[in-house]
Amino acid sequence: MDYIFIDIMAKKKKTRFSSKSKQITTHKILEEIIRVDHAGEYGATRIYDGQIAVFGKNTKIGKTIKHMADQEQEHIDKFNELILEHRIRPTALLPLWNVAGFALGASTALLGEKAAMACTVAVEKVIGEHYQEQLDLLKDDHKDLKKTISKFRDDELEHHDIGIDHDAESAPGYRIMSKVIEFGCKTAIAISKKV
């Protein structure tokens, strides 16, 4: 009897201690976060490359896209650093995202400015939500990474709003196109975490 009582008290103490102790992000989660974000930012630079290839960077729409592309470049530069710093293997699918990203950007741009912006809205919506989920997953042992992701999330949401302000929603076939692109992005995210 005494033994059981002591055992319960010991467990209670342990629970109390662990709830107060610092929470740690597992390496698996950190690895998946950095790998998928690196892949996503790379894909984003390629989407905007494809759109700029069609519109040219000196047109009015080209300059707006260039502003977003420059921010994507900052994002990928940062994840290039993080992938080295944490010694994380990049996704094996970078060559695929290279081609698929460019093709998505160029093909939507060929459909017109509103379609290009509809692509931006769909992609940035998924990425913005994805970054928010990561902020909820990361513990306080990665405060700097949380700060980075939170800044990038705000940039992505700004890109989303730029798309809306440029009449993305009145692009022909907007609803179906958004659904297809959102589904594609979510699938790419799920694969790039692991592969």
Q: Which residues bind Fe ion (CB under 5 A)?
A: 41, 44, 72, 75, 156, 159
Nearer residue to Fe ion within complex by CB, 129 or 139: 129
Distance CA 193, CA 195 (A): 6
Minimal distance, residue 5 CB to Fe ion, in Å: 56
Rounded to an integer, what is the distance from CA 141 to the centroid of its chain? Answer: 20
Minimal distance, residue 6 CB to Fe ion, in Å: 55
Q: Output the DSSP codes for 47-80.
A: HHHHHHHHH-TTSHHHHHHHHHHHHHHHHHHHHH
Minimal distance, residue 18 CB to Fe ion, in Å: 36
Nearer residue to Fe ion within complex by CB, 123 or 171: 123
Between vectors from CA 160 to CA 157 and to CA 162, what angle results, nearest 5°?
110
Minimal distance, residue 136 CB to Fe ion, in Å: 19
Tokens encoding 7 = 């055992």
Nearer residue to Fe ion within complex by CB, 54 or 123: 123
Minimal distance, residue 74 CB to Fe ion, in Å: 8
Distance CA 109, CA 115 (A): 6
Nearer residue to Fe ion within complex by CB, 14 or 186: 186
Nearer residue to Fe ion within complex by CB, 139 or 193: 193
Residue number, nearest CB to Fe ion: 75
